[in-house]
């Protein structure tokens, strides 16, 4: 058992299952930290968790980059909330939406 576990949340069913399994690795009184990364790559491909962030007509508007960034942050936050709701009661859970490249964000979260 571990005092703390960092879980990368990607909005997929498989990712949620990984989060539920990680909860089994946390010692009583330990902490599970859910990290959802708002990566510019996800914005550029208009996708989070296998779903489009914006429909095609909205993605082509002049304000699309700002709307895409907002849509991504909102989608990541919803994914964190959804996974948190699936974890055992009484488990200490922190959840953060962090902007940046996935590799860099998760490396920083794990140290």
**pLDDT tens by residue, 7-41:** 999 989 998 999 999 999 999 888 999 999 998 88
Place of tokens 């989060």: 19
**pLDDT tens by residue, 40-88:** 888 778 888 888 887 766 656 777 778 888 999 999 999 999 999 999 8
Which of 28, 29, 31, 25 is closest to 84 using CA atoms? 31
pTM: 0.85
Length of the chain: 111
Concatenate the DSSP letters of all residues of the chain into one string: -EEEEEEEE-SSHHHHHHHHHHHTTEEEEEEEEEEEEE-HHHHHHTEETTEESS-HHHHTSTTHHHHHHHHHHHHHHHHHHHHHHHSPTT-EEEEEEEES-HHHHHHHHH-
Six token digits for residue 111: 């140290």
């Amino acid at each position: 058992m571990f005092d703390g576990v960092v879980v990368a949340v990607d909005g997929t069913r498989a990712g949620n299952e990984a989060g539920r399994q990680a909860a089994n690795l946390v010692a009583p009184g330990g902490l599970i930290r859910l990290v959802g990364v708002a990566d510019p790559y996800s914005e550029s491909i208009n996708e989070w968790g296998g779903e489009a962030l914006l429909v095609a007509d909205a993605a082509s508007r002049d304000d699309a980059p700002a709307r895409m960034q907002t849509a991504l942050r909102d989608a990541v936050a919803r994914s964190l909330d959804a996974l948190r709701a699936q974890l055992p009661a009484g488990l200490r859970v922190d959840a953060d939406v962090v902007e940046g490249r996935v590799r860099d964000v998760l490396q920083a979260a794990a140290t």
